[in-house]
Chains A and B, each alone.
Chain A
Amino acid sequence: MYSSQQDGGAALFSGGGFMPSQATQTPESGFSKNRGVQGVIPLTVKQISEAYHSNDDKSNFVVDGVEASNVRLLGLVMNKAERVTDVTFTLDDGTGRIDVNRWVNETSDTNEMAIIQNGMYVIVNGSLKGFQGKKHVVAFSVRPVVDFNHITLHFIECIHVHLDNTRPKGAGLPQAQTSSMVQTPIRSDVKEYHSSLPNQFSSPTGAKGSETDIYKLVLDVFQEPASLARDHGLHVDEVVQKLGIPINKIRDAIEYHVDVGHIYSTIDDNHFKSACNG
């Protein structure tokens, strides 16, 4: 179900309010910057409130280490207000409230928004934006919930995606990657939410035990889609913060990965980025 939705979604969700409408868009125009690396991630408002806003890009949010640019929310409509160019409302999903804004360019948009009433359960697919420290959603679609089992489904999906994205890398794989030449396929359900990375880098074979583990953990951080998406890569301190491992160990691991060519330094000696092209 997801794969088909996401294929359609790729062309559908490529633009914000001022982009051409989906009807005039060809599938090839999918290089828009807005789209990000992900499909649409189901989230609770609570999760969004805790999303990490990476500073180098104005619309770059990270939830569970994964870039969350396109999100799906489900909740009750409150305070709907219609204006000439857009419709705004507050979405209350029970975990919190967030402002949603839907640009209306065409009659179909107007019709879609006309049936949305206060107190109605809706599914919102949209792009997560930050403006002056305040997060809001620019919706691509706002649709009434017809089958109320979708309420249960949505929140179970939020839990499922959260589990997938926070599961230690490799734990979901059938076998430990001892043989570095074997490309272990990533489980299909993981793939739905990750742009899965080809596992082209071998882990160091010379070092043993915890040292190897740290090397792998550090490389994993650099290979997260959210890290790959950033031009400057990651600051050493961010890696330290993420892993909670002493900085000298992190520096050792980074030095190793730079030496063998897995990562490279960017704007200064503290910023590094994976050489793996996400």
Chain B
Amino acid sequence: MDTSSPAVFANAELLKMYTGRRVRAVVQVIRNEGGVLVGKSTDGQQLTVKGSPAFPLSHFVEVIGIADGNQSIRAEISTDLGENFDVVAYDGLCQLANGKHRKLFL
């Protein structure tokens, strides 16, 4: 068992609190710019993902990696979640997992 490096559920707003930490966020692909993926976060802001392979446009991608700036993640693992994903529910989960029920996750 190892709980030393959790990946925090994050949207763009929460990302700001976790610079340098491991996070997980879902983005909808807007464009691929040669190794850099630009996407829309679950709270509707633009996020840059470095070191991620390209994914089809408008697909949802879950990125696990290090938050390295306000609007940027250095990806370690990226998973294609397909075209149908409930961002509202996921965004709600981000807030629960960082707020009241933090101790279940961190």
Contact = CB atoms under 8 A, between A and B. Distances in A.
A45 interface: yes
Contact of B106 (A95, A149, A151, A162): A95
B105 A44 contact: yes
Nearest to B64: A94
A47 to B, nearest CB: 6
B60 A148 contact: yes
A46 B97 CA distance: 12
A159 B105 CA distance: 10
Interface in B32-82: 60, 62, 64, 77, 79, 81-82
A152 interface: yes
A149 B77 contact: no
Nearest to B24: A94
Contact of A95 (B3, B82, B90, B96): B3
Interface size class of A (residues with CB under 8 A): 20 to 34
A155 B106 contact: no
A45 B3 contact: yes
Interface residues of B, number: 30
A159 B85 CA distance: 20
B1 A45 contact: yes
Nearest to B8: A94
Given A76-B77, A148-B82, A152-B93, A94 B105 contact: yes
A48 interface: yes
Contacts of B4: 96
Given A135-B1, A152-B86, A158-B104, A94 B93 contact: no
A153 B96 CA distance: 13
Contacts of B106: 46, 95
Contacts of A235: none
Contacts of B7: 94
Contacts of B6: 46, 94-96
A97 B84 CA distance: 28
Contacts of B84: 147, 149
A44 B104 contact: yes
Interface string B1-41: 11110111100000000000000100000000000000000
Contacts of A156: 89, 92-93, 96
B101 A95 contact: no
A134 B79 CA distance: 30
Nearest to A161: B104
B3 A49 contact: yes
Interface in A19-71: 44-49
Given A95-B104, A156-B93, A158-B104, 6 more contacts: A45-B1, A46-B103, A95-B6, A97-B1, A99-B1, A156-B96
The 10 closest A-B pairs by CB, nearest first: A96-B3, A148-B81, A94-B7, A97-B2, A152-B89, A49-B3, A152-B90, A95-B105, A159-B101, A95-B6
5 contacts: A44-B104, A76-B77, A95-B104, A96-B1, A97-B1
